[in-house]
């Protein structure tokens, strides 16, 4: 991970497809025909096929036998299920981080959290959203458990769209800030119980936020064009 040296064409295609999906350029439910997409980008079917498989494993595409893969259109229930898992992963991360994180790592997390608090209101929601994700990822990284980090990253991807839409609610942003503060404080105190509680609270708020969205717009329309490409250090 880390730098973005895209080695193989398939990875490049996967990243590009992922962006298109997450940004809503490819609407949920839309078919992704490997032939057409490959032709459109002037590549052969082979790497495109591989890219599709990658995204399928990530849960962004649904593969069905002898039929075009389609962009996943997770129901509220599926999103909630995924968040439940995400919460468990982050809670474990927090717990582990409490006794494995270095002082430097904790300091860096605090810095990021403070930067987010300062810039709140001065930057657009997309940047704010990315800072949010970055803080979560940093906490997971502080767990010093690569497997956990990898799985967490996968769930973050899968939930990117839902989280993004939630982040655009103005009223939710203040709450996010406060809850991040609680999490970081617990980490600084290396209080495993407190950090687990804080993380669960944070993500349960996310669930209820998304639930509201669903009641108004059950399908989650495409992301407006002004939303620029996300960048998480990683794949996206």
Q: Does residue number 190 form part of the binding site for DNA (CB under 7 A)?
A: no
**Residue written as token pair 């057409």:** 36
Q: Which is closer to its own copies, CB of 91 or CB of 116? A: 91
Which 178-197 residues touch its own copies, going by CB under 8 A?
none
Long-range (24+ apart) CB contacts under 8 A made by 215-222 are: 218/76, 219/28, 219/73, 220/28, 220/161, 220/162, 220/165, 221/24, 222/23, 222/24, 222/25, 222/27
Q: If you search the block for the tokens 């730098």, which residue do you land on?
A: 3
Kindly tell me which of 25 and 35 has the beta carbon lying closer to DNA: 35
* Interface size with DNA, residues (CB under 7 A): 23
Identify which range of 62-70, 115-123, 126-134, 140-148 contacts DNA by CB under 7 A.
Answer: 62-70
Residue ranges in 4-33 that form contacts with its own copies under rule CB under 8 A? 7
Contact 13, 47 (CB under 8 A): yes
Site for its own copies in 23-82 (CB under 8 A): 46, 50, 53-54, 57, 59, 65, 78, 81-82
Alpha helices, DSSP H only, in the chain?
9-22, 34-40, 45-58, 76-100, 103-119, 125-141, 146-167, 170-188, 192-216
Binding at 57: pick from DNA, its own copies, none (beta carbon under 5-8 Å per type): its own copies
Matching residue, tokens 């669960």: 200
Angle between helices 76-100 and 170-188 in degrees, nearest 10: 30
Q: Which does 211 bind (CB under 5 to 8 A by kind): DNA, its own copies, none?
A: none
- How many Å apart are CA 95 and CA 151, to the nearest integer? 16
The residue from 16, 19, 62, 68 that contacts DNA (CB under 7 A) is 68
**Closest separation between CB of residue 28 and DNA, Å?**
17
Q: Is 145 in the site for its own copies (CB under 8 A)?
A: yes
Q: Between residues 46 and 102, which has the closer beta carbon with respect to its own copies?
A: 46
Task: Provide the binding-site residues for DNA, judged by CB under 7 A.
Answer: 7-10, 31-36, 43-47, 49-50, 63, 65-69
């Amino acid at each position: 991970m880390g730098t973005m040296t895209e080695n193989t064409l398939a990875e490049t295609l996967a990243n590009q497809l992922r962006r298109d999906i997450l940004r809503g350029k490819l609407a949920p439910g839309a078919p992704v025909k490997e032939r057409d997409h490959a032709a459109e980008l002037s590549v052969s079917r082979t790497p495109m096929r591989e890219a599709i498989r990658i995204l399928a494993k990530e849960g962004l595409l649904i593969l069905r036998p002898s039929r075009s893969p389609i962009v996943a259109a997770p129901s509220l229930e599926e999103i909630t299920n995924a968040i439940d898992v995400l919460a468990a992963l982050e809670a474990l991360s927090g717990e582990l981080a409490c006794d494995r994180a270095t002082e430097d790592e904790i300091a860096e997390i605090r810095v990021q959290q403070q930067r987010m608090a300062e810039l709140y209101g001065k930057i657009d929601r997309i940047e704010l959203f990315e800072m949010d994700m970055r803080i979560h990822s940093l906490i997971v990284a502080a767990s010093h458990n690569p497997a956990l980090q990898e799985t967490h990253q996968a769930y973050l991807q899968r939930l990117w769209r839902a989280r993004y839409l939630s982040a655009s609610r103005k009223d939710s942003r203040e709450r996010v800030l406060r809850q991040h503060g609680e999490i970081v404080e617990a980490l600084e105190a290396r209080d495993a119980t407190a950090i687990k509680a804080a993380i669960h609270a944070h993500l349960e708020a996310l669930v209820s936020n998304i639930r509201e969205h669903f009641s108004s717009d059950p399908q989650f329309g495409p992301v407006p064009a002004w939303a620029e490409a996300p960048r998480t250090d990683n794949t996206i």
